[in-house]
Amino acid sequence: MPPPLLLLFFSLLPPADGRGELRAFVVAHSHMDVGWVYTVQESMHAYAANVYTTVVEELMKGKQRKFIAVEQEFFRLWWDAVATDTQKQQVHQLLQEGRLEFVIGGQVMHDEAVTLIDDQILQLTEGHGFLYETFGIRPQFSWHIDPFGASATTPTLFALAGFNAHLISRVDYDLKADMQKNKKLQFVWQGSPSLSERQEIFTHVMDQYSYCTPSQIPFSNRSGFYWNGIAAFPDPPKDGVYPNMSLPVTDTNIHLYAKTMVANIKERAAWFRTSDVLWPWGCDKQFFNASVQYSNMDLLLDYINKHSDEFGVTVQYATVGDYFQAIYSRNLTWEIRDSQDFLPYSTEPFQAWTGFYTSRSTLKGVARRASSLLYAGESFFTQYVQKHPASSICKCGALKQLQSLRWAVSEVQHHDGITGTESPKVKDMYMNNLMYGIFNVKKLMASIIFDMNNAKKNGEVYSSVYNKDSGIPGATDVDQYVVVYNPLAWNITTFVTVSVSHLAMSVYDELGLPVPAQVQSSVESHSTYDLYILVAISGLSYRKYSIKALNGKQSAFIGRSVKYKQKDITRADQESRQLLPVVNNCYQVLFDQNTNLMHSITERETNQTVRLTQEFLEYHVNGDVKKGPISDNYLFAPNASAIPVSKAVGLEVVSGNLMTEIRQYFYSNVTAQDYVYAVYTRMYTIPEGYDGKLLCHRIEQEYSVGPLELNREAVLRTSTNLNTRQLLYTDSNGYQIQKRPFKAYMNNTVARNYYPMVQTAYIEDDTTRLMLLAERAHGVSSQGNGQVEVMLHRRLWNNLQWDLNYNLTLNDSSVVRPVIWLILGTKALTNVLYRTSGLALEHRPVVMFGALSDKPKLPRQLQQNSVHGSPVTVPPNLHLQTLSIPGWRYSSNHAEQVHSVRAGKQKQGDANFSRALLRIRHLYEVGEDPVLSQPVMVNLKSLLNGLGSVILVEERSLTGTWDVNTLKRWKWKTAQYPSKGFSNSTETSENSIVTVHPKEIRTFFVYFQGQ
């Protein structure tokens, strides 16, 4: 609701034909990157803390002044560590007066291309929970001014969070020019084909000036409208004089300033349908000295308004909400945009921002692993709190451990974080924060296992999350055990890998029964072996396995290695082809022994064979700006087609009863000793009595790439004989699929046909589909019929002064180890498999290791509590997306919450452990599959029965801050829906039975008995 004053103001508006005297809404803002060139600490010290300190002070001095605050990470650091009690009181007052407005409200302004939907929701929820708990407010507008391209998932998320309008800026330069000319920068976006008008949102695309005030002014050689100048690092200057401060407004230049501003307002107005002009005032790192900013702008706005007849313009300080309220009041009919996104993004003919889809692949991988561990830790802790209320673990301390990882995973979603577009020291900051959070959550999970099993305190539990390098120590006199937790709400059958020091090993379950396992030489080390254990675990449950070194009849299968002769692929004899088959129940994969490369894959059920070969190539790119376009952290600018990297391939096949691993090593020539590229391909054979459907139907590949030479971009190209017409499909943030037809451009066609793959990409012909599933983001493209290539790694250096000044070149000399799973089959088969498989890759089981000294048998306690009495499972077309204890203290009754904030009572007491946050997502689109696309009825009480007795379920908005029954979003008029009003789209039943429709994400607060 706008404050009553605002309503009065709008009733005095001229008739809503949309035109009339121009009104400029001057939106004061500071774009504050949470990392990029400088660390968060450096930014806080140099300018960020001063933004909030001086802005709050200045807003109190002038009733007309306004400001929008965006990134919560900086605001919260200021609030917790810098703000005085007086300043806190003033913030409360300014929010009530509508002069300070929080927009977006997430911890960061998340990247839209390479982030996963779960992590976007996490960082939004983190920020929203703080704002609602502290101020009782809920942001309603977005301000996505800087992410490099816009995804179609974002508008859906913002609609689900209760937003009334969405704002973006960076879209293709040629597209933006076209939209400006035709006044099409504003539309109603239906980002999800299945949710369509139920979760549509009005979207504003900024014009060519984007989010910064025009910096060139005709009457001065300094910038314009930046009276506080440019932030100085590392320390703010003692005398308050900053570089490049704009000329102060004086009697002699005020008319020139006014003319410049009015001309810009009029130029912009011509690109929009109404006479309301959004005029952003600010840029990166502005308002660290708000006093000089507002005192100059006050004079200028007063002057323009006094001469409004002459200028034909009125100007006013405004928030984003003021601007959108004015547009909404015009009551115009808007065009609908479907679910097509704005990716990739180019700023000029040779500037395609498609390099960042792959930049800093290691950071991208760690960010996703951290997110996956957090997902597991949250549900593990939630179950523990409900089932063991009298636990010995301090719950507040445990929550702090989880919060450290929530904060780190949220932070890295920033559009200069997971994108890989930051300086090396900022990359180190993200990595350190992630590793610290990972360590905390592993420690928490280990101590929960401990507490639940009353293990003697000398039994050490140390945990490792599917990292092969930290396994069990070589001691043989000690019984080792592994605890394996399945964080998904489905029963899973999969392999976990443990590093061991002997070949003769046996594995037993809780009852002492042998468990299928296979030991073989390790890829990574000559002194250890990899032990693959077949685990079958129900939803949100854990199992314990003991591992013994012995030479017995029940020992694990041993994988035997055969090394083949290295082959010169440039001289391969095409005539006498000898094919080596590797077979399991689902596939037969043939390798060509002339080249040691893959030759074809046969899907055995349909007996369909696809010719399929894989090779590594490199794009060579230019690093000298004098010689042409360059590649950097952001941009990909290849100067020719990709070049094959290897002339010789080595092959080793390790085969055992459960698994065959094909190891291919790629050498630059026949005499080379070292390889920069390797592929490890794994295929599984599942014994009787296990559900092997997912395991059997995937071909797992792990790559080793690097260190690269400078100015090389490494891709894995998979070529097939499928007639795909060069059409590629990629996922949008792991939420939905986008169609990517190949487009020919005058310039830079290769780079402009690269797209982000966050979790999924596929190519298909009329009958058969080849699916790729990833555990981190990559750039992906189809540069030829039947082809799909994935960019795996980049190493760049250039002499562009801007990049050098900020240390933004990408001299990444690391070796990366990404994993991709391949699924081949009919469309019907892959449809059934790929959603569950993608999540099985994202959320692999968490493995914790421990040693029990001098205990020949597992103690009784371990057998009793070993398997959870009642697993939590949902049908295969649903995903339990969140089960956590947020710890917020706010009331879920809005009137109560606002009352307690106003009374100053909102922050007392410990975190609230009685409220669990539950999200359930439907994985399928309408009409995608005859069975799986159906709506699903879920009884939440019986679903969570194993955790305890559910006494109350409340359905909430996406981030938890709205009761869905009171959430009334603005309904914008479209040709499809001519009447305007409020949209309220969910039906909830009283008795905790909900029907989840295709693509819905439903959010609930769940309260348990006795908490």
Q: Which residues are identified as catalytic?
A: 146
User: Would you say 619 and 630 are in contact if contact means Cβ atoms under 8 Å apart?
Assistant: no
Q: Number of helices (H) and strands (E), helices first, in the chain?
A: 22, 47
CA–CA gap between residue 986 and residue 958 (Å, rounded):
12
- Which residues face 795 on adjacent strands? 712
CA atoms within 13 A on the CB side of 317: 23
Q: How far apart are CA 900 and CA 894, in angstroms?
A: 10
Q: Which residues of 736-772 are buried (b: 16+ CB within 10 A; e: fewer)?
A: bbbebebeeeeebebbbbbbbbbbbbbbbbeebbbbb
Using alpha carbons, select from 480, 518, 675, 690 the residue that is nearest to residue 596. Answer: 675
Coil/strand/helix, residue 887: strand
Buried b (16+ CB within 10 A) or exposed e, 350-369: ebbbbbbbbbbbbbbbbbbb
Q: Is the dihedral of CA 930, 933, 937, 943 positive or negative?
A: positive
Q: Is 695 helix (H, G, I), strand (E, B) or coil?
A: helix
Tokens of 719: 């070529």
Sort 150 into a burial class: Cβ within 10 Å, 0-12 / 13-18 / 19+.
Answer: buried
Are residues 615 and 623 in contact, defined by beta-carbon separation less than 8 angstroms? no
Q: How far is CA 257 from CA 28, 279, 289, 628, in A?
A: 17, 15, 20, 38
DSSP symbols for 888-916: ----SSHHHHHHHHHTT-TT-SS-B-SEE
Q: Is 159 helix (H, G, I), strand (E, B) or coil?
A: helix
> Quick one: tokens of 933?
């696309």
Q: What 3-state class would DSSP assign to 304?
A: helix
Centre a 10 Å sphere on the Cβ of residue 470 and count the other Cβ atoms it contains.
Answer: 14
CA distances to 48, 155, 157 from 288, in Å: 7, 31, 32
For 497-519, give the DSSP string. Answer: EEEES-S-EEEE-TTS-B--EEE
| Residues whose CB is less than 8 angstroms from the CB of residue 691 and which lie 6 or more positions away in sequence, other chains included | 491, 493, 536
Lookup result for tokens 């799909």:
788
388 and 451 Cβ atoms separated by less than 8 Å: yes
Separation of first and last alpha carbons in the chain: 35
Peptide bond preceding 516: is omega within 30 degrees of 0, i.e. cis?
no
Report the amino acid identity of residue 199: Q
Tell me the C-alpha distance between 954 and 969, whole Å.
19
Say if residue 871 is preceded by a cis peptide, omega within 30 of 0. no
507 within 8 A of 535, measured Cβ to Cβ: no
Residue pair 342/150 in contact (Cβ under 8 Å)? The answer is yes
Of 920, 1000, 1004, the residue nearest 963 (C-alpha)? 1004
Give the closest residue to 268 by CA, choosing from 206, 184, 182, 347: 206
Compute and round to an integer the Cα radius of gyration of the chain: 29
